């Protein structure tokens, strides 16, 4: 009793302003959440001074609820469609509409400065509303979004006087007119970051040049493929302070002055740390970037269809590299060189140059990844597409790199076994989860039985996201994961023989996760109904393009299933092929 | 789900209606869900290896319950070319497109297709088809409708469903009016209209 009184006395003795000031140093959503749980008064103080909100699933909560709790938000991040939408597994029109959010925030958050969206649908009207509602709007990031055109961008350009960042990364934009850029008024000089790499057509280049040269704080510029190389030198001369540059197509008619101009321009870029772009590379132009190579920390060559020797020549100059994205043209030889030269490497992504080919077109095998895992002590994030793998290699990688946090391996042919022993890759991936104790993200591939899931459930205690395809034998596999992975937030599964038993037995687990996606598995409609009924704080969405599932027997498996926790009940914007399973409360009327 | 082996899909559908909510380890050797994505066989380059892989996966099949392998029964029915599984390997479309592209070509030939009365849109890659007849067959399959014959004079007169498209200028045209190559580069999106809706198109 005395202790409680002491605590109460302490909290009353601190004026709110002091607490608020202390809280202002704490930015992470997780920590803010912890603060709000301490006591009622901290909850109240915290919510009035929360500036950044992260909503990992736009359907988990309504805009009104967010606005009610956090009235003074300046920055919001929203995510919409499930991750597998990236691979065309979510049919068109599924949802993820940001409009209701923008409408509500236009009224409630006049001081909003930042909107960051991922996999959402945003219309030109919405962009217009943003442009006209938020006087101090600074940052618009649209990652893998769709539904808008360059007209919407024109409105943003014309109205957002304080815009700092416009990032359209990987979005699908209907490119009506390249003149939208000209809508930035001549008096506008605050642009810091511009990413238009996804735009299909040429933008008005003179307008771009003028824009870039009058914005002294330009830090990041990512051009699109249509941006001509022979104009890049001039652009760079207008912005030698650039730190991140994405080129357009890296090719042009062979004219010596283009090369010399380019090389001179790059020499002037003393701050450059990151390069990307490089579509259609003409290898003889690559040396133009050599002046900046030694300082580069990030290099994205994942569109550069050049062969190993040219890649080796380029990457060999980049001793400070921390992040490399590259096509498998780099081959094992190139990865050996990377391991030898780039000791600061932290992230490696190797993409397939011929993903649908029947045979390997490049000499890239598991050996390349083993080399890098040996040579690069800071390597912790890997995405690797290849055609063969062994348990021995995975074991070696695991032992070399216990600091691995993100490991995504894609063996191109589903269910490929260890090519030396012809066994499954259970023990290899088992080694990964056993040795890499901080593993947060894992993607599996190759021939895998329920055993691998047993290993994952046993060891992958920090795992937050797991992606599974063409793996497992029975419900036991899914059960191991759901019952063992204490920190699992996102689970996505396709083409696995997982059915009702594991799901129903671990139903409560689903409320501790952000979402579960299962497609082409064996979950029956009956089980979906049951889950929906018993767990009101979950939305159980059945996606089935064959028509209403209640026209088929309850035992019939659903095509796709998306389950996510929510406090806002079933959504109302579903297309005709999505059904939300009703919970018991629906029958209480 | 749409896939390139229509027959395959039907075959697996029949098996699927026998599916029960049984315990794992029950006597069902082959729990074949009706909607397993189609896979091609695990072909390896050397014939000896190929038989080893098949025999090992077969023995795995027999010993474990609720097998995940759909290919063993279907080996005889598998087509000679590689059947592409939807969304595999997991690469974003813009990456796939950029690999196939040469400079100067359009970025992606994906067109949205809508149909009168259908609640949702589909997307198709026009590059995959070489002629109108291929395209129309695919559309008929996708939307379970019959489109009928095209004639220069009368369009799709008499058909219940008429394929139309919006071109670069924003005009709605009859599919088939222009040469295939021109259609591919000018088509923005497709719409399968009801015969009655489409009257008036193609009468230029």
pLDDT at site A7: 61
pLDDT at site A588: 42
pLDDT at site B46: 40
Residues B85-96: what's their mean pLDDT? Answer: 90
Give every residue of chain A whose pLDDT is below 50, as ranges: 587-589
How big is chain B by its Cα radius of gyration, in Å? 22
| Owning domain of residue B126 | 108-197
Distance from CA of A155 to the nearest CA of B (A): 22
Q: What are phi and psi of A457, to 5 degrees?
A: -65, -30
**Cβ contact, residue pair A497, B68, below 8 Å:** yes
Q: Does A249 touch chain B (CB under 8 A)?
A: yes
List the structure tokens of A226.
């249509």
**In A203-357, which ranges are E strands?**
220-222, 244-246, 274-276, 298-301, 323-327, 347-351
What are the helix (H) ranges across A175-297?
205-214, 232-237, 256-267, 290-293
**Cβ neighbours, 10 Å, residue A526:** 16
Answer positive or negative: Cα dihedral of A446, A447, A453, A454: negative
**Cβ contact, residue pair B122, A87, below 8 Å:** no
Evaluate if residue B5 carries a pLDDT over 80.
Answer: no
A 91-110 → B contacts, CB under 8 A: 91-93
Query: Helices then strands (H, E): number in chain B?
Result: 6, 5
Q: Over the stretch B11-69, which tens digit does the pLDDT of each residue have?
A: 344 444 444 444 444 443 334 343 444 443 333 334 443 334 343 333 333 333 333 33
Q: Does A517 touch chain B (CB under 8 A)?
A: no
State how far the Cα of A520 lies from the Cα of A186, in Å rounded to an integer.
Answer: 54
Q: Three-state SS across A404-465?
A: CCEEEEEECCCCCCCCCCCCCCHHHHHHHHHHCCCCCEEECCCCCCHHHHHHHHHHCCCCCE
What mean pLDDT value characterizes chain B?
64
Distance from CA of A476 to the nearest CA of B (A): 8
Give yes or no for a contact between A431 and A395, defined as CB atoms under 8 angstroms apart: yes
Q: Is residue B129 part of a domain?
A: yes
pLDDT at site A535: 93
Q: What percentage of chain B carries pLDDT values higher than 70?
A: 52
Q: Over the stretch A315-344, which tens digit does the pLDDT of each residue have?
A: 999 999 999 999 999 999 999 999 999 999
Give yes or no for a contact between B86 and A89, defined as CB atoms under 8 angstroms apart: yes
Residues constituting chain A: 589
Annotated domain spans of chain A: 14-50
The domain total for chain B is 1
Beta-carbon contacts of A537 under 8 Å, excluding residues fewer than 6 positions away, are A511, A565, A566, A567
State how far the Cα of A18 lies from the Cα of B135, in Å rounded to an integer.
Answer: 68
State how far the Cα of A78 lies from the Cα of A122, in Å rounded to an integer.
Answer: 12
pLDDT at site B200: 62
CA neighbor of B108 nearest in space, from B91, B95, B89, B121: B95
Sheet strands side by side (includes B161-167):
B122-125, B110-115, B187-194, B161-167, B172-174
Q: Is residue B47 part of a domain?
A: no
Integer CA distances (angstroms), B5 to A293, A323, A538, A543, B79, in order = 49, 41, 36, 22, 8
pLDDT at site B121: 79
- Which residues on B lie below 8 Å from A277 (Cβ)? none
**Cβ contact, residue pair A91, B122, below 8 Å:** yes
**Cβ contact, residue pair A577, B119, below 8 Å:** yes
State how far the Cα of A311 lies from the Cα of A293, in Å rounded to an integer.
Answer: 13
Q: Is B51 exposed, middle or buried (0-12, 13-18, 19+ CB in 10 A)?
A: exposed
Q: What percentage of chain B carries pLDDT values higher than 90?
A: 4
State how far the Cα of A170 lies from the Cα of A246, in Å rounded to an integer.
Answer: 13
State how far the Cα of B187 lies from the Cα of A221, in Å rounded to an integer.
Answer: 32
Residues B126-133: what's their mean pLDDT? Answer: 81
Evaluate if residue B103 carries a pLDDT over 80.
Answer: no
Using CA coordinates, name the residue in chain B closest to A92.
B121
- Which residues on A lie below 8 Å from B14 (Cβ)? none
Q: What are phi and psi of A482, to 5 degrees?
A: -70, -30
Instruction: Find residue B161's DSSP bridge partners.
Output: B194
B 28-87 → A contacts, CB under 8 A: 31, 33-37, 39, 42-43, 45, 52-53, 56-57, 60, 64-69, 82, 84-87
Residue of A87, A249, A495 to mutate, interface with B, max B Cβ within 10 Å: A495
Distance from CA of A402 to the nearest CA of B (A): 26
Q: Over the stretch B63-84, which tens digit does the pLDDT of each residue have?
A: 333 333 333 333 444 334 456 7
C-alpha A396 chain-centroid distance: 28
Residue of B3, B86, B89 to mutate, interface with A, max A Cβ within 10 Å: B89
ipTM: 0.89
Integer CA distances (angstroms), A487 to A302, A318, A466, B132, in order = 32, 37, 11, 52
Give yes or no for a contact between A78 and A120, defined as CB atoms under 8 angstroms apart: yes
**Cβ contact, residue pair B35, A559, below 8 Å:** yes
pLDDT at site B83: 61
Q: Over the stretch A531-571, which tens digit does the pLDDT of each residue have?
A: 999 999 999 999 999 999 999 999 999 999 999 999 999 99
Using CA coordinates, name the residue in chain B closest to A495.
B36
**Cβ contact, residue pair B33, A91, below 8 Å:** no
pLDDT at site B96: 86
CATH number where B181 lies: 3.10.20.90
Query: How many A-B residue pairs are in contact by the CB < 8 A criterion?
Result: 161
Instruction: Find residue B41's DSSP bridge partners.
Output: none
Q: Is residue B25 part of a domain?
A: no
pLDDT at site B201: 61
**Cβ contact, residue pair A279, B103, below 8 Å:** yes
Higher pLDDT, A210 or B185: A210
State how far the Cα of A52 lies from the Cα of A37, in Å rounded to an integer.
Answer: 17
- Which residues on A lie below 8 Å from B82 (Cβ)? 356, 358
Q: Which of A170, A280, A355 sits opposite B91 (nearest CB)?
A: A355
Please give the angle made by the CA atoms of A312, A248 and A185, to the nearest 5 degrees: 145
pLDDT at site A2: 65
Give yes or no for a contact between A406 and A425, defined as CB atoms under 8 angstroms apart: no
Q: Is A40 exposed, middle or buried (0-12, 13-18, 19+ CB in 10 A)?
A: exposed
Q: How confident is the model at residue B104 (pLDDT cuts 50, 70, 90)?
A: very low
Answer positive or negative: Cα dihedral of A255, A256, A261, A267: positive
Helix (H, G, I), strand (E, B) or coil at A576: coil
Beta-carbon contacts of B17 under 8 Å, excluding residues fewer than 6 positions away, are A553, A556, B34
- Which residues on B lie below 8 Å from A305 (Cβ)? 99
**Cβ contact, residue pair B33, A497, below 8 Å:** yes
**Cβ contact, residue pair B90, A354, below 8 Å:** no
Residues constituting chain B: 204
Give yes or no for a contact between A401 and A373, defined as CB atoms under 8 angstroms apart: yes
What are the helix (H) ranges across A215-330?
232-237, 256-267, 290-293, 308-315
Instruction: Find residue A173's DSSP bridge partners.
Output: A148
Give the orientation angle of helix A366-375 with respect to helix A331-341, to 10 degrees. 0
- Which residues on B lie below 8 Å from A170 (Cβ)? 92, 94
Whether domain A14-50 has CATH 1.20.1280.50: the reply is yes
Q: How confident is the model at residue B4 (pLDDT cuts 50, 70, 90)?
A: very low
Q: Which of B68, B87, B92 sits opposite A89 (nearest CB)?
A: B87
Q: Which of B19, B25, B69 sits opposite A555 (nearest CB)?
A: B19
Q: Does A361 touch chain B (CB under 8 A)?
A: no
């Amino acid at each position: 009793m005395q202790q409680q009184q002491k605590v109460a006395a302490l909290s009353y003795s601190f004026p709110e302003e002091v607490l608020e000031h202390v809280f202002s140093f704490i930015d992470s959503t997780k920590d803010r959440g912890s603060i709000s749980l301490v006591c009622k008064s901290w909850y109240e103080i915290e919510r009035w001074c929360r500036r950044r909100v992260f909503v990992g699933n736009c359907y988990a909560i309504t805009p009104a609820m967010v606005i009610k709790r956090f009235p003074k938000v300046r920055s919001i991040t929203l995510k919409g469609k499930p991750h597998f939408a990236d691979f065309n597994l979510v049919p068109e029109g599924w949802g993820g509409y940001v409009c209701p959010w923008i409408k509500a925030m236009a009224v409630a958050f006049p001081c909003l400065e930042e909107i960051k969206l991922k996999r959402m649908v945003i219309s030109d009207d919405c962009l217009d509303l943003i442009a006209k509602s938020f006087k101090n709007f600074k940052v618009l990031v649209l990652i893998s979004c769709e539904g808008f055109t360059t007209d919407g961008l024109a409105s943003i350009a014309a109205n957002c006087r304080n815009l700092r960042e416009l990032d359209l990364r990987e979005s699908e934009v209907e490119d009506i007119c390249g003149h939208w850029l000209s809508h930035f008024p001549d008096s506008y000089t605050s642009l810091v970051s511009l990413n238009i790499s996804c735009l299909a057509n040429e933008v008005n280049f003179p307008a771009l040049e003028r824009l870039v040269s009058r914005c002294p704080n330009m830090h990041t510029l990512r051009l699109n493929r249509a941006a001509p190389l022979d104009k890049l030198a001039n652009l760079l001369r207008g912005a030698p302070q650039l730190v991140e540059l994405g080129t357009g197509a890296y090719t042009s008619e062979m004219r010596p002055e283009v090369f010399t101009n380019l090389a001179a321009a790059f020499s002037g870029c003393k701050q450059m740390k990151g390069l990307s772009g490089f579509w259609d590379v003409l290898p003889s132009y690559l040396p133009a970037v050599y002046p900046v190579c030694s300082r580069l920390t990030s290099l994205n060559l994942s569109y550069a269809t050049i062969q190993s020797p040219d890649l080796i020549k380029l990457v060999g100059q980049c001793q400070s590299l921390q992040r490399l994205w590259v096509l498998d043209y780099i081959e094992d030889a190139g990865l050996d060189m990377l391991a030898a030269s780039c000791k600061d490497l932290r992230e490696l992504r190797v993409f397939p140059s011929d993903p649908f080919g029947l045979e390997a077109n490049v000499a890239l095998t598991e050996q390349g990844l083993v080399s890098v895992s040996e040579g690069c002590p800071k390597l912790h994030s890997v995405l690797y597409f290849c055609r063969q793998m062994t348990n021995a290699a995975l074991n070696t990688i695991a032992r070399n790199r216990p600091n691995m946090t993100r490991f995504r391996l894609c063996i191109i042919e589903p269910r490929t076994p260890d090519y030396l022993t012809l066994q499954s890759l259970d023990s290899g991936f088992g080694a990964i989860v056993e040795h890499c104790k901080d593993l947060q993200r894992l993607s599996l591939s190759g021939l895998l039985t329920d055993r691998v899931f047993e290993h994952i459930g046993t060891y992958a205690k920090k795992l937050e996201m797991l992606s599974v395809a063409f793996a497992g034998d029975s419900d036991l596999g899914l059960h191991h994961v759901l019952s063992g992975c204490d920190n699992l937030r996102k689970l996505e599964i396709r083409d696995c023989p997982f059915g009702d038993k594991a799901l129903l037995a671990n139903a409560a687990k689903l409320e501790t996760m952000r979402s579960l996606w299962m497609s082409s598995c064996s979950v029956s409609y009956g089980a979906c109904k049951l889950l929906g009924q018993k767990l009101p704080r979950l939305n159980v969405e059945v996606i089935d393009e064959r028509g209403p599932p209640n026209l088929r027997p309850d035992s019939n498996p659903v095509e796709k299933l998306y389950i996510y926790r929510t406090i806002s009940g079933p959504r109302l914007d579903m297309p005709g092929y999505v059904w939300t399973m009703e919970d018991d409360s629906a029958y209480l009327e | 789900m749409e896939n390139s082996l229509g027959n395959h899909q039907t075959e697996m559908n029949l098996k699927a209606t026998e599916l029960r909510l049984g315990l794992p380890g029950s006597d069902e050797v082959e729990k074949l869900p009706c909607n397993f994505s189609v896979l091609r066989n695990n072909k390896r380059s050397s014939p000896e290896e190929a038989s080893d892989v098949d025999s090992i996966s077969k023995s795995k099949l027999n010993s474990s319950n609720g097998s995940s392998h759909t290919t063993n029964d279907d080996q005889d029915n598998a087509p000679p070319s590689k059947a592409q599984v939807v969304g595999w390997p997991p690469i974003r479309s813009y990456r796939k497109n950029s690999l196939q592209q040469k400079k100067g070509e359009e970025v992606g030939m994906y067109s949205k297709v809508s149909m009168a009365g259908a609640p949702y849109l589909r997307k198709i890659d026009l590059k995959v088809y070489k002629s109108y007849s291929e395209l129309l067959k695919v559309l008929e399959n996708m939307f379970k409708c019959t489109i009928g014959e095209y004639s220069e004079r009368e369009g799709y007169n008499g058909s219940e469903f008429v394929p139309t498209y919006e071109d670069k200028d924003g005009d709605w045209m009859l599919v088939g009016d222009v040469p295939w190559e021109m259609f591919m580069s000018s088509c923005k999106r497709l719409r399968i209209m009801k015969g009655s809706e489409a009257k008036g198109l193609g009468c230029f």
